[in-house]
Structure 1
Amino acid sequence: MTTSACTDGSAPDLLGTLAADHATGALSTESGIFYLAAGHVVHVESPYSPGLGDLLTRSGAVDPAGWWEAVERAGAGHRVARHLVDSGSLTTGALELCHLGALFDAAYCALAHGGATLRFRPGVAHWLGAVRPVPVATVLRESCRRRALLHRIWPDPAVDTAPLTRAPGADPAELPPRRGRTLALVDGARTAAQIASALAHRTFHTLVELRRLAADGLVAPAPHPPTTPVRSVPGAGGAAWDEPDTALLRRLLDALEGL
């Protein structure tokens, strides 16, 4: 493809075509953007998932001033990721693990909540720059795995995107620590992405806890959710970096090394 194109096809199908064509550019769904380089996925963004910068700075892994310095100095050259490593803000391995988790989270959201209208813009690159390109097939396979797991826990995907309300009498103190911390931030206004950002947790693991809470009757979508998701939570404090899927991400990285 050499010009911007609109299509009514399936996002996974079009991603497969772009991979086969070794395409470079940005594929937009109604709930996210896939950035590709030579047919591989290099970054994904979704308003339903906290961005890499939110996760790194809220967790304390990168100082906010250091993050914004990298964006200002290296964003125009699409080298923010490289600048973070070269400046000593992050090791290469830590950046790859953090970015891979954020990429898979955003890809799940962009595919699970997308509509029929897609748009591909050839040649468009993200200011972060490439960290570790991931094959399209790997991204699609991981998204399917996550969707199946979440469906087994609780089948209503509205929990993933709508502002959530807490059941009367639901007490975070009576739950396991991670689930209790998640429930404590359910206030009738925050979405899953906002809760994940406030906790400095990856989106998928927050969704697992929220769907478990929904299955137990402790949370539900608020009656009148807004139509536009909000990415961040004002005033959220720092939190410990959450690494529940490090082993999985390391296995994925090892598999990518072997390709």
Structure 2
Amino acid sequence: MLQRLAAERATGALIRDRGTLYLADGQVVHAESPATPGIDVLLTTGGALHRDGWWDAVARAGAGQRVGRYLVDSGWIPGGALELCHLGALYDAAFFALAPARTPARFRYGVSHWIGPVRPVPVDAVHRETLRRRELLDRIWPKAVTDSAPLVRAAHPVDAPVPPRQRRVLDLVDGARTASDIAQELGRSAFHVLVDLRRLAAAGLVDALRETPGATASTSGRITIPEVTADPDVALLRRLRDALEAL
């Protein structure tokens, strides 16, 4: 469907289960997903833009769908910095929006986003980058359960050094937060958080919180609290990895 919309140079919003892609003349101009921090979070948390500047732009240029242009013209942020952050937010949200879905996609012609024109991206480029990211995650750790489930620290973590960036992610693993929650908390790309979490899972430091197979509702109507079950494949894969590295 996305390829067809690109071929007909369509303008509008492609709405899917996990996000929305905005097209103009057949190119992707913005993307949003509830799984990722918005461009406002990425800009302000990273220090590229003061929060006052963001809200000033929204108030003055949001109705005219020129927020991006206003940020640059008013001196709140350099054009290059806005483009880089916008591309990061676009690819981040597109990765989730283009994930396999249970319901058909819908396209609303003529819809545009209030951020306005920043830097259009060809559909083929978005498609290639989405596939590259999926392949990268699978190479790191082939189990996607850590991408969406609440996360816990391993019951018996290995004694291995953790890089500072991964440590900041690990510090927020508390049995309730998901990868998306952690990305919002840190104001970082959700995909990059997935990369860190899969590396932590491959190292045996985190696991997904899952219900035990026999967990059911009790006779009182209350749901039994799910227990953490260790993945039996983790230790085996670590031993295989260590053996291969020793060859």
TM-score range, shorter chain: 0.7 to 0.9
The 2-side partners of 1:69 and 1:172 are apart by 48
**2:98 partner SS:** helix
Are residue 150 (structure 1) and residue 144 (structure 2) matched? Answer: no
Show the 5 A alignment for 1:72-221.
72-168=59-155, 170=157, 174-221=161-208
Instruction: Confirm or deny: 8 A CA contact 1:58 1:198 kept in the other structure.
Output: no
- Stretches of structure 1 that go unaligned for 5 or more consecutive residues are 1-13, 225-259
The 2-side partners of 1:112 and 1:215 are apart by 22
Which of residues 47, 72, 85 in structure 2 aligns to 1:60?
47
Which of residues 22, 31, 39 in structure 1 aligns to 2:18?
31
Cα deviations by residue, 1:155-194 (Å, 9 ceiling, x for unpaired): 2222222221212354999411111111111111222122
Aligned-residue offset at 1:57: 1.2
Aligned to 2:34: 47
Kindly report structure 1 stretches of 4+ aligned residues shifted beyond 6 Å: none
Q: What is the total number of aligned residue pairs between the two structures?
A: 211
Moved more, 124-133 or 63-72: 63-72
**2:89 partner SS:** helix
Aligned-residue offset at 1:28: 0.5
Q: Which has the larger radius of gyration?
A: 2
**Larger RCO, structure (CA 8 Å, separation 6 or more):** 1
Instruction: Confirm or deny: 8 A CA contact 1:62 1:89 kept in the other structure.
Output: yes
Instruction: Confirm or deny: 8 A CA contact 2:48 2:81 kept in the other structure.
Output: no
Aligned residue identity for 1:201: R
Instruction: Confirm or deny: 8 A CA contact 1:32 1:114 kept in the other structure.
Output: no
**2:126 partner SS:** helix
The percent identity for this pair of structures is: 59
Aligned residue identity for 1:39: G
- Stretches of structure 2 that go unaligned for 5 or more consecutive residues are 212-247
RMSD: 1.8
